[in-house]
Amino acid sequence: MPRLKLTLAYTGTRFAGLQIQPGCRTVQGEVEAVLARMLNGPVRIDMAARTDSGVHALGQVVHLDVPESKMRIPWRKAINALLPDDVCVTEVEVVPPEFHSRFSATSKVYAYTIWSELEFILPQRKPFVWRMAGLNQTAMDKAMQHFVGRHDFKSFQNVGTPIRDTRRTVARFWREPGQTQWETVYRIQADGFLKQMVRNIIGCLVAVGRGKLCPNDIPALIAVRDRSLAPPTAPSRGLCLERIFFDVKADSTGSRPDEEELDEGD
């Protein structure tokens, strides 16, 4: 059966996260319900990254196999016609059968937006930012560099997660101006993310910006491998899964990781 890769965008505000959960409205649940209608039967999709309740996406990826007979459907148009307002499919591609939304992902980019004005937030931007005024940007810039590279990020993983290998490689961690004069976007690219890793790193970065930690405290916080010693998690609304990079060939040559070791995502 041909395999389709779907790229999804959504606002996480009204979702109880991405993964299907009984009695909760989830991205996976909404997308699977639409696909089930189109394919006349239950469908289970696999997501590249598990995003928590409230987290947004511009470039989430899922894949599914569809019967050859359904390939004449104008997929993108048809799915979008049935999806609710807060999730859409921006791209549909036919991919080789060895493509897997989770196993073939080589790196992901998350963006976290901080709103710097204390007294107001533009209503247009409120669902997408975390308000945190008066941060020391110079200290934060120094702190960011300590996260780059291959590290054991256990201190930045949600407690109780059953992942054994907590080492990940952060390729880039940089900031850019946001959509308005009051926003700064922190982007982080890594080969994988532990559960709530981005939000925990941002929580730590903000602690540095507020003078509660020094940039040079970061290496020790990483080395201690203890979540309870790191600053609190940043709220989900500032986070957006922007892009996922894939390498199907890497996957098809046998480098597929142990399934138990897969990221929970952020």
Residues making contact with a copy of itself (CB under 8 A): 9-11, 56, 58, 76-77, 80, 85-90, 118-124, 126, 128, 179
3 state SS of 95? strand
3 state SS of 159? coil
Identify whether the C-beta of residue 203 lies closer than 8 Å to the C-beta of residue 188: no
Active-site entry in 46, 52, 85, 251: 52
Residue 199 CB, nearest distance to a copy of itself (Å)? 19
Identify whether the C-beta of residue 9 lies closer than 8 Å to the C-beta of residue 76: no
Long-range contacts of 209-212 (CB under 8 A, 24+ apart): 209/132, 209/135, 209/136, 209/137, 209/139, 209/140, 210/132, 210/134, 210/135, 210/136, 211/136, 211/139
3 state SS of 252? helix
Residue 130 CB, nearest distance to a copy of itself (Å)? 15
Ligand-binding annotation for 112, yes or no, is no
Residue 2 CB, nearest distance to a copy of itself (Å)? 20
Q: Which of 117, 112, 190, 176 is nearest to 147 (CA)?
A: 190
Residue number with CB closer to a copy of itself (19 or 180): 180
Residue number with CB closer to a copy of itself (72 or 164): 72
Active site residue 52: yes
Neighbours of 113 (CB within 10 A): 23
How distant, in Å, are the alpha carbons of 127, 161, 198, 229, 261 from that of 164?
Answer: 34, 9, 18, 19, 7
Residue number with CB closer to a copy of itself (58 or 250): 58
Residue number with CB closer to a copy of itself (89 or 194): 89
Residue 86 CB, nearest distance to a copy of itself (Å)? 4
Q: Is the dihedral of CA 131, 132, 134, 137 positive or negative?
A: negative
Binding site residues, as ranges?
110
Residues with catalytic annotation?
52
Binding residues for substrate: 110
